Structure 1
């Protein structure tokens, strides 16, 4: 059985809600963050909705979007 290439249509009267896409987090220079792999850090650079540069103390890492493993403190 194969999937149809046609997207599913949603009716306005449907009791089921549309799937919600999570909003992309916004980070600014100076924000304190935590990352699942690297730990605590501070944002030192922002590339317009593409990536952020974070200083984790011992290293600096460029974290691309989506920021699924990183959150604000």
Structure 2
């Protein structure tokens, strides 16, 4: 029974990481971080625009006969 047994099937004695793996990992991490940063910035700007009086007057008032009070 092999329960709990760890078998190493590929052991060539080379523990050095392959060329470029660190650079690739850094690029992936930076790309992911920038994606999160831009998504957060977009959410902040969009939420600010949605409550602006000029936006509500241009895009909400009159839509389905809404008044300004119904849009806020």
Please indicate the TM-score interval, normalised by the length of the shorter structure. Answer: under 0.3
Larger Rg computed on CA atoms: 2
Structure (1 or 2) with the greater strand fraction: 1
What TM-score do you get using the length of structure 1 for normalisation?
0.20
Structure (1 or 2) with the greater helix fraction: 2
What TM-score do you get using the length of structure 2 for normalisation?
0.20
